[in-house]
Structure 1
Amino acid sequence: MDLLLEKPIESLNKELTFTITGSKSESNRLLILQALYPELEIHNLSNSDDTVHMQEALMSQKNHVNIGHAGTAMRFLTAYYSSIEGIVTITGSQRMQQRPIAVLVEALKSIGAKIEYLNEEGYPPLQIEGGHINATIVKLNASISSQYITALMLIAPSLKNGLKIELAGKLTSRPYIEMTVGYLRSLGVTVNWSKQDTAIQKDKQILSEVIQIKPLDTIIHKSLTVESDWSSAGYWYSWVALQEIGYKLTLQYYFKESVQGDSKLQEYYEAFGVQTTFVNEQLVLTKISDKLAQRVVINLVNEPDQAQTIFATCLALGINAHLTGLHTLRIKETDRIAALKDVGSRFRESVIQTTQDTITLTCVPLAPHDKPVVIDTFDDHRMAMAFAPLACRTSLLIKDAGVVTKSYPQFWDDLKRVNVNITEI
């Protein structure tokens, strides 16, 4: 499905309120914990494809599981299936079979897991014979993906003797680890986490972090509620940033004390004239200024999912940007750094330079194009939604627009509510 997005016919004077689905990051963690502790009840689960795939896999009685594009599900389920009795083959889409998983697999094998690569070494599909984890200490590189670490943390309390996770290198996406720690502790799990200021040398490696998780038989809280997804809120921060002073939008079910790292959006979008206020469990976004920075420099090592959204906002407003800490973007649904350079270069007056983990944008404010700008999505939901707010400045042709179901299924319906003219072609 391709969609033509055209500039709103008229601006909206009334205030709108949106309800965004629960965080898939929170939902997927809680689903693994629920599988290990069935008495747990979860409220406001995400309706994203990733979470649906996770639910279907956990409920399936089959020994062959296909999780599509759901990278989080691949990582978490690999650890989960390794921790329980049974033999399971887990695979995914063609892109998923190109996304590396060797760091996690080798870590699991080092503590007794039996896992085989069925095609290319280091990549899915995998055959897992579960129930053989017997060691209590595991080591892995902390700088590649926080999801590998979280996968181990989630199964740790269900293991007979718990697990000590020794991390080497600089930890990436720290807020996602903090999210996992928070949920484990809320269920009654004892988690001891020594951070970078206590780095020690062991076996000729510098251990920057050590996470010790004790076993737990019975959880203390039987019900938890998922906060709405801050990653998805980013698209509406971008939309509000592109509007006139006084424009206001409200998002439902957000907590001032959030466990989601992308809540950092509140701070980042101040540079784009957007004010954030909380009213009960509502997030109110208001455009309060058009005196914007000429250039922003942001390290997104802890919020990499916001790179595309912030890049697109800067492109539209003509704000030069230097975004760093993006090394994990190379192994996402697509190579997101390459995708941003490709698509961003289709807009007039933009110069884009990239390295392995940075992207630098030099541009002028976006003006209407003679023809719709083609936005290839590369099987990546965030490419579609990050660029969509630019429809208030110029027409866009979003290719394979259905990809948004991965994280925000009702996104196009919500965009229509702000008067974007959307036509399927």
Structure 2
Amino acid sequence: MTISLQKSSIHKTNSLTITGSKSESNRLLLLQALFPELTIENVSNSDDSHVMQQALETTSEIIDIHHAGTAMRFLTAYFASKSGSEVVLTGSPRMKERPVEILVEALTHLGADIAYLETEGCPPLRIKGKHLTQSKVSLNANVSSQYISALMLIAAKLENGLELTLKGKITSVPYIEMTLALLKQVGIEASFNGNLIKIVPQVSTLNPQTLVVESDWSSASYFYSIVALSAVGTNIRLSSYKKDSLQGDSVLASLYESFGVSTVFENEQIQIKKVSEAIKEPINFQLNHAPDIAQTIAVTCLGLGISCHLSGLHTLKIKETDRLLALKTEIEKLGGSVHITENSLALEVTKHINFDVSIATYNDHRMAMAFAPMALKTKLNIEDANVVSKSHPSFWDDLKNLGFKITQ
């Protein structure tokens, strides 16, 4: 489905409820599968979390997780440690190109039985669940944090727990710390000191408890962009958010101050408001701890006519698409000038935004949502608009509620 977004002005004051964090939901769903005494509320309604739930509940021998990268990593570890099970874990054509070798090697070192069925190092995988007794393993620390979190999540169910040594500079620390915090929250003994993660085996059942998932900060980023591209005084309230968030993308609140946007926390809501014009100096952000908001920030800068240099983006090349190349291609359609490297993006200021441009989305939900706020500056067509269901199924309805004109 292709949709057209007409140049619009949004209502001055708005309130929206954002679905639960996909990152928190998928971690807690796996922990709940290991420890059924846990109850979860405000689970994400994203495709990725639906896929995760279905996979954990299925009795099928073939599990197709489609585009859900987090589910692929987490479920690889889960089924490898589930003694007596045997599954084939597969996904979309793009998923079959996304590397999983680092995680498979670590699990194999712990005693897992995993085989590649097509391309070496990539899904689909045949996984024969085993009782894993080894407890010590090392990983390069500059890989996707999802490999690290996948091992952490199953660790308390391993006979001897886990000692995970991270080699080199660590990428996406907030996501590792999120996993650690959730383990501690449910009652699992875990620590992260220097480059060593230790998790103690949980031999008894956990105390029954209910955990409420915080709303997704990555999804909030698109509304920060909308406010930044709107007139001074524009205000959006989003529920439900915490000032002491576990999500790395909560750094949005401070980064968007450069774009004249303030954030106020009250009663588990955030009020985001355009309080001044954006600064005109070039923006320089290091985003290795929050790479998922790079697309949003780049488009915000384009719309505001601000040059930017965004670094720490090496993990973006192995996402749903090569997000750096996709950003360059689509921003240049709009009239911007972009230079990319293996881990950075530089946008040169442009004075003219092209009209009535069609934005390709590359099977990537974040491409669709990151570019949508540009409708405040020009007419846009978003191709394959349904792709937003991967993380934010109500996104287009939310934009209509804000005052955007959307036609199919």
SS of residue matched to 2:333: coil
Counterpart code for 1:3: I
C-alpha separation between the residues in 2 aligned to 1:63 and 1:377?
Answer: 32
Residue 175 of structure 2: aligned partner? 176
How high is the sequence identity, in percent, across the aligned residues?
52
SS of residue matched to 2:180: helix
Residue 160 of structure 2: aligned partner? 161
Deviation string, structure 1 residues 242-281 (Cα, Å, up to 9, x no partner): 1111110000110111111100000100000000001111
Deviation string, structure 1 residues 363-382 (Cα, Å, up to 9, x no partner): 23554x34x11110000000
Of 69, 72, 95, 1:71 maps to: 69
C-alpha separation between the residues in 2 aligned to 1:143 and 1:182?
Answer: 21
2:389 counterpart of 1:376: no
2:312 counterpart of 1:361: no
Residue 213 of structure 1: aligned partner? 199
Residue 391 of structure 1: aligned partner? 375
Mapping for residues 411-422 of structure 1, pairs under 5 Å: 411-422=395-406
C-alpha separation between the residues in 1 aligned to 2:278 and 2:6?
Answer: 26
SS of residue matched to 1:16: strand
Residue 125 of structure 1: aligned partner? 124
Residue 42 of structure 2: aligned partner? 44
Whether the 8 Å contact between 1:315 and 1:365 is mirrored in structure 2 is no
C-alpha separation between the residues in 2 aligned to 1:191 and 1:170?
Answer: 21
Deviation string, structure 1 residues 258-312 (Cα, Å, up to 9, x no partner): 1111000001000000000011111100000014132110000000000000000
> With structure 1 as the length reference, what TM-score do the two structures score?
0.94
SS of residue matched to 2:211: strand
Deviation string, structure 1 residues 190-228 (Cα, Å, up to 9, x no partner): 112112xxxxxxxxxxxxx11010011222352100000
C-alpha separation between the residues in 2 aligned to 1:11 and 1:387?
Answer: 16
Cα 1:259–1:221 shift into 2, 3 Å: farther
Counterpart code for 1:410: S
Residue 2 of structure 1: aligned partner? 2
Residue 27 of structure 1: aligned partner? 25
2:402 counterpart of 1:404: no
Task: Give the CA deviation at 1:355.
Answer: 0.5
C-alpha separation between the residues in 2 aligned to 1:31 and 1:291?
Answer: 40
Task: Give the CA deviation at 1:189.
Answer: 1.1
Residue 265 of structure 1: aligned partner? 252
Whether the 8 Å contact between 2:132 and 2:159 is mirrored in structure 1 is no
Counterpart code for 1:211: I
C-alpha separation between the residues in 2 aligned to 1:283 and 1:342?
Answer: 33
Whether the 8 Å contact between 1:317 and 1:364 is mirrored in structure 2 is no
RMSD: 1.0
Whether the 8 Å contact between 1:4 and 1:396 is mirrored in structure 2 is yes
Of 61, 80, 97, 2:78 maps to: 80
Counterpart code for 2:339: Q
C-alpha separation between the residues in 2 aligned to 1:191 and 1:293?
Answer: 45
2:350 counterpart of 1:351: no
Counterpart code for 1:47: N
C-alpha separation between the residues in 2 aligned to 1:351 and 1:16?
Answer: 33
Deviation string, structure 1 residues 337-372 (Cα, Å, up to 9, x no partner): 000010011112x211110000000023554x34x1
Whether the 8 Å contact between 2:37 and 2:207 is mirrored in structure 1 is no
Residue 185 of structure 2: aligned partner? 186
Counterpart code for 1:294: E
Counterpart code for 1:20: I
C-alpha separation between the residues in 1 aligned to 2:360 and 2:337?
Answer: 18
C-alpha separation between the residues in 2 aligned to 1:182 and 1:132?
Answer: 26
2:328 counterpart of 1:341: yes
Deviation string, structure 1 residues 361-420 (Cα, Å, up to 9, x no partner): 0023554x34x1111000000000000000011011101000000000000001111221
C-alpha separation between the residues in 1 aligned to 2:254 and 2:131?
Answer: 45
Whether the 8 Å contact between 1:319 and 1:365 is mirrored in structure 2 is no
> With structure 2 as the length reference, what TM-score do the two structures score?
0.98
SS of residue matched to 1:278: strand
2:308 counterpart of 1:325: no
In the alignment, structure 1 segments of 5+ residues that lack a partner are: 196-208
Whether the 8 Å contact between 1:315 and 1:366 is mirrored in structure 2 is no
Cα 1:37–1:274 shift into 2, 3 Å: same
Of 27, 52, 55, 1:54 maps to: 52
Runs (4 or more) in structure 1 with deviation over 3 Å come to none
C-alpha separation between the residues in 2 aligned to 1:392 and 1:212?
Answer: 48
C-alpha separation between the residues in 1 aligned to 2:30 and 2:140?
Answer: 23
2:97 counterpart of 1:98: yes
Whether the 8 Å contact between 1:404 and 1:411 is mirrored in structure 2 is yes
Counterpart code for 2:290: E
Whether the 8 Å contact between 2:337 and 2:350 is mirrored in structure 1 is no
Cα 1:321–1:84 shift into 2, 3 Å: same
Alignment coverage as a number of residue pairs:
406
C-alpha separation between the residues in 2 aligned to 1:228 and 1:192?
Answer: 26
Counterpart code for 1:137: K
